Chains A and B, each alone.
Chain A
């Protein structure tokens, strides 16, 4: 270590120089990995779309539609509040994956996909699954929001939504679902909150409620978008 007569200015200059070189190096590494990170993220998103759609309903991520809850269809992801990915069986629309986000969870935003099925009538609409794409919640607490989601819900060791938060949204009829977040005394149509993570649980429940209510309200318009695309093809 430099023990000679050091002035404060020298000390500041050295740390600034080290920080500048480090920042430059990091900028290079970030530029070199940015494309790959984006591709990895897209691949994960495509895989998750397949997971939240019902069985035998094939995801077609090329036909995604950017949607703004105020203005309807928009051109880019930046303008969108939701993104819809359709699923088809024998050329017929059989499911919808809705990408949405909770803006104010405990540690920031949570991006998630909600799979919907039974699109014939708004009253029949059902949630199939929930999948969290991005979250920065506290490990061991709010991060449990994503526990068990990579496994087929029927293969999970427990169906209790208190143990696996994703089970709150598995195969639930929207017309009966309350979205009430409860720590105890919850029914199958309530949301069982993660212990000691009520803020996270509520943020997800509110985001799912907003997105699904919007889809229920605009269901004919949204399904028509994909039926038109199929007809044009």
Chain B
């Protein structure tokens, strides 16, 4: 169970380990994009972790990184094709960041650090936990940015017909500012938890 839970809080890949920053800052302009990206990352993480764990005794150590990338790229291409076919709006919003999941350090990092050394079930749980942690990180950041920068959440207007949102939050500086506050908040909670024993 620890494998599943650690990615959600203690080792959250977005808010604690600060991995995969580039796509995170780019796609978190709207909550729907964050959910689309988060679900794509969960699918790729779980599938890649399971496959790499199954093949861990076959993959030679010399060529392990190319093997991992081939496996990860396969699952990312599946996500790319499925989104293009069934969710064209999300596909168009996420654009280049779908193929770029291939080089997302969360996924390659879990393959190298965990799946290549652990059995299938543990690897699947690790992938799922890390994926859920990434999804929550994406969603929290996107929700803050969409609400403050656009006055909406999932395109639902929250402040009436004519709000004056702080546009800076859906622009790149707003991403860094929001991320900083989220990380500070998380650190403060963690510090209080430790202080309380």
Contact = CB atoms under 8 A, between A and B. Distances in A.
B18 interface: no
A139 B96 contact: yes
Given A1-B116, A1-B117, A18-B55, A33 B85 contact: yes
B110 to A, nearest CB: 15
Interface in A1-42: 1-3, 6, 8, 10-12, 14-15, 18-19, 22, 25-26, 29-30, 33, 36-37, 40
Contact of B70 (A12, A19, A40, A136): A19
A15 B81 contact: no
A10 B60 contact: yes
Contact of A37 (B73, B74, B84): B84
Given A1-B64, A30-B81, A14 B59 contact: yes
B88 A40 contact: yes
A119 B59 CA distance: 65
A44 interface: yes
B33 to A, nearest CB: 12
Contact of A3 (B55, B61, B77, B84): B61
B81 A139 contact: no
Contacts of B58: 2, 14
Contacts of A1: 56-57, 59-61, 64, 116-117
A22 B58 CA distance: 16
Contacts of A18: 55, 59, 67, 70-71
Contacts of A199: none
B74 A143 contact: no
B74 A25 contact: yes
Contact of A11 (B60, B74, B85): B60
A139 B23 CA distance: 11
Interface string B71-83: 1011001100110
Interface residues of A, number: 26
A139 B26 contact: yes
A2 B58 CA distance: 6
A3 B56 CA distance: 10
B70 A37 contact: no
A90 to B, nearest CB: 33
B2 interface: no
A30 to B, nearest CB: 6
Interface in B68-117: 70-71, 73-74, 77-78, 81-82, 84-86, 88, 95-97, 116-117
A12 B82 CA distance: 31
B60 A2 contact: yes
Contacts of A22: 70-71, 73-74
Interface string A102-121: 00000000000000000000
A29 B71 contact: no
Contacts of B57: 1-2
A25 B55 CA distance: 16
Interface in B106-151: 116-117
8 contacts: A1-B117, A3-B61, A10-B60, A18-B59, A22-B71, A22-B73, A26-B77, A37-B81
Given A15-B66, A26-B78, A139-B96, 13 more contacts: A2-B59, A2-B60, A3-B61, A6-B61, A14-B58, A14-B59, A18-B59, A18-B70, A19-B70, A22-B71, A29-B81, A36-B85, A136-B96
